[in-house]
Amino acid sequence: MYVNFCILKIYGGIFIKKFLNLFTVAVLTLILAACGNGDEGGDDGSADVENNGEDVNYSEAVDYTIYGIEPGAGITELAHNTLDTYDNLDGWTLEESSTGGMMTELRDAIDNEEPIFITGWSPHYKFVEFDLKYLDDPESGMGETEDVHTIARLGLEEDKPEAYQMLDAFSWDLEDMEQVMYEGEDSTYPEAAEAWVDNNRDKVDEWVDGIEPVDGEPFELVSMSWESEVASAQVVRTVLEELGYEVTVTDVDPAVVFQAIANGEADATVAPWLPVTQGHHYEEHEGNFEDLGANSTDTRNGIVVPEYMDIESIEELEPAE
């Protein structure tokens, strides 16, 4: 009986030792397998936004949304056209808001280094405030480079020849416009415009060369609420007031800009982007105003993203499922 118990004890110990060894091997195998699966998951293209920007599905990350500005703005119409032009943007949404609303979304995204797509244009101070880039647009859905034109009501040359002469001579670079925009964000646009005029007398003197001052004649200038166009309007206001005009600047919807000029309710504007952005308004009222030509050139619209996003073209985006 004792001998049998000893034999059982010996064989039982061997069995338990073998069992423990097998259990240990099994546990280690499971741990190694789990580690291996984690390594493979980092290379399967399914990384999310927080994975250092690598293999990000930007389309899904932004919920297939582009942030835009005001309904009725030319760039808003171009963005809708872009959504219709590219098959890979099927199911995407343009979130219409305002320029201020779009900038808030942009700042929030950049503060958190998150992806975002916006409708952007040059000139604009956001390109100095942030590192941004345009996405390639091979189908030109957002249009080509454009010029900003000066448009006057019919009869302005006869009624107010001094203002007409100044407006006809008005021309400046995008860098000039941006300078006013930058300073206007820290102060006010009227103050920034007056400072720019004071600091650029050589250029201003070319606009007013040979013009005799007037005595308090009213002048109605219409514009749009874009920062670039506010900058232009305020510079023109400053120069016309130095010539003796009492200038009223009214910011309205782009459609109303053309309507007011065509109906003679306003004297002039230095805001329209042509031939695309406000081209449909231009065509609607053509013949009922005088186009004095471009006052600045090579403006641009496009889909804009932060520089840290690893994407270069609209064609890289994916349709919504």
Residue 11 has a pLDDT of: 40
The residue among 62, 46, 60 whose CA lies nearest residue 105 is 62
The answer to whether residue 132 scores a pLDDT higher than 80 is yes
Residue 48 has a pLDDT of: 40
Q: Which pLDDT band holds residue 174 (cuts at 50, 70, 90)? A: confident
**pLDDT tens, residue by residue, 148-164:** 999 999 999 999 999 99
CA 245-151-235 angle, to 5 degrees, is: 45
| Kind and range of the H or E run holding 121 | strand 118-122
Give the rounded percent of residues in the chain with a pLDDT score beyond 90: 73
Q: How many CB atoms within 10 Å of residue 278?
A: 26
The DSSP result for 200-229, as a single string, is THHHHHHHHTTPPP-SS-EEEEEE-SSHHH
**pLDDT tens, residue by residue, 258-275:** 999 999 999 999 999 999
Residue 63 has a pLDDT of: 97
> Going from the N-terminus, what domains does the chain have, and what CATH number goes with each?
58-144+303-316 (3.40.190.100), 146-298 (3.10.105.10)
**pLDDT tens, residue by residue, 47-63:** 344 445 457 899 999 99
What is this structure's pTM? 0.66
Give the rounded percent of residues in the chain with a pLDDT score beyond 70: 83
Q: Which of 23-32, 57-66, 73-82, 261-270 has the lowest mean pLDDT?
A: 23-32
DSSP state of 55: T
String of b and e for 284-303 (b: at least 16 CB within 10 Å)?
ebeeebbebeebbeebbbbb
Residue 213 has a pLDDT of: 97
Residue 26 has a pLDDT of: 46
Report d(CA 189, CA 125) in Å as an integer: 13
pLDDT (mean) for 127-145: 93
Torsion 222-263-291-277 (CA) sign = positive
Q: How many CB atoms within 10 Å of residue 95?
A: 17
| Kind and range of the H or E run holding 37 | helix 2-41
Q: No. of H helices and E strands in the chain?
A: 13, 10
Residue 54 has a pLDDT of: 56
Report d(CA 239, CA 193) in Å as an integer: 9
Cβ(67)–Cβ(116) below 8 Å: yes
pLDDT (mean) for 108-131: 93
Residue 4 has a pLDDT of: 43
The answer to whether residue 42 scores a pLDDT higher than 90 is no
Q: How many CB atoms within 10 Å of residue 198?
A: 10
Chain mean position to CA 188: 22
Q: Which pLDDT band holds residue 219 (cuts at 50, 70, 90)? A: very high
What is the overall mean pLDDT for the chain?
86
